Amino acid sequence: QLQLQESGPGLVKPSGTLSLTCSVPGDSINSSRHYWDWIRQPPGKGLEWIGGIYYTGRTFYRPSLKSRVTISVDTSRNQFSLKLTSVTAADTAVYYCASRDIVVVAFDNWGRGTLVTVSS
């Protein structure tokens, strides 16, 4: 089991940019078996896949968020990051980072999640 850990500001102003980082233990970020993904959950609501990245830098985004999302990876620091621009109150959510097993196509490890509130 991988212990993933999200970090970043818990409060972002409307129209600003949400930035989060996920730390991955050891050298796991270079795993050829996993994608590294972001998933969010608005308070009291369900899960929504945002997008993911492979250690090579190949990215995949939810079509409805693609124009506002950038996911990047820093293999030297064993981290991957999320940037979401032009945020509104609708982007208020608990943001999870997770690993996605390429073979079984499932999210097999999750961070504890971090609440990001969009408010002035």
Partner 1 sequence: QSALTQPPSASGSPGQSVTISCTGTSSDVGGYNYVSWYQQHPGKAPKLMIYEVSKRPSGVPDRFSGSKSGNTASLTVSGLQAEDEADYYCDSYAGSNNYVFGTGTKVTVL
DSSP 8-class letter at 63: G
Q: How far is CA 21 from CA 88, 103, 104, 111, in A?
A: 20, 25, 25, 11
Cβ proximity to partner 1: between 32 and 76 the closer is 32
Min dist. Cβ of residue 16 to partner 1 (A): 26
From 29, 73, 81, 111, residue interacting with partner 1 (rule: CB under 8 A) = 111
Stretch in the footprint of partner 1 (CB under 8 A) among 21-29, 44-52, 71-79, 80-88? 44-52
Compute the distance between CA of residue 97 and CA of residue 99 in angstroms, rounded to an integer: 7
Contact between 96 and 116 under an 8 Å Cβ cutoff? The reply is: no
Of 62-81, binders to partner 1 (CB under 8 A) are 62-64
Stretch in the footprint of partner 1 (CB under 8 A) among 8-16, 22-30, 83-91, 104-112? 104-112
